[in-house]
Amino acid sequence: MHEVLPEGAVIRKLWIGETAKYREHVLRLDPESRRNRFGGAVSDDFICRYVDLSTSLDAVVHGFFIDSEMRGAAELRPLGLRFPRQAEAAISVEKPWQSHGVGSALLRRTLLTARNRGFRLLHMACLADNRRMQQLARKFDAELSFDFGSVVGEVESSRPTPLSLMREMLTDSHGFATAMLDLQSRMLRA
């Protein structure tokens, strides 16, 4: 899987203990991106509670990191036992990093993760005037059929394959190695 990301950037799953990085990223979103992300204006306090809840649930969060700072996120959250094969996905990228392919890379990772966990339906809340998100979803129409009226995306493949599991494992190990190198160089600098 070849991704063209800005130099020095990495996309990896968030670790336990990195909730603060996620919270800071969401709080930094400009008002329009914040509105698009949450489907309306929300307060800082709402965001703090939202992030705490997300990370305490069974969510998988991928982060886009540059210079150790989290500048983008994709969250995949199962809808629970009553809807066993359904999950909710949401993406956010801070303004200076938008339109650089980051949202596409984050959605690609999220779709792979959803597939490997056997999710059939992905819900994505998207405001009707959010053209960029709609364009982004259209790029993945082979994997995701999107109905902007009902705001439900369908992950078409029902089962993970050895290859899809391997792809997730490989990207995870690359993300882990990069994070370790980053930690090491920060410790050396300190």
Other beta carbons within 10 angstroms of residue 60's beta carbon come to 19
Site for ligand COA in 83-102 (CB under 6 A): 90-93, 98-102
Shortest distance in whole angstroms from residue 86 CB to ligand COA = 16
**55 is a site residue for ligand COA (CB under 6 A):** no
**Pick 126 or 179: Cβ nearer ligand COA:** 126
Is 113 a residue that touches ligand COA (CB under 6 A)? no
Judge whether 93 and 76 are in contact, CB under 8 Å. Answer: no
Minimum CB separation from ligand COA for residue 58, in Å?
A: 19
Between 80 and 96, whose beta carbon lies closer to ligand COA?
Answer: 96
- Euclidean distance between CA atoms 157 and 74, whole angstroms: 20
Q: Is 65 exposed, middle or buried (0-12, 13-18, 19+ CB in 10 A)?
A: buried
96-109 CB burial, b ≥16 within 10 A, e <16: ebbebbbbbbbbbb
Task: Give me the residues that bind ligand COA (CB under 6 A), please.
Answer: 33, 36-37, 90-93, 98-104, 124-126, 130-133, 135-136, 139
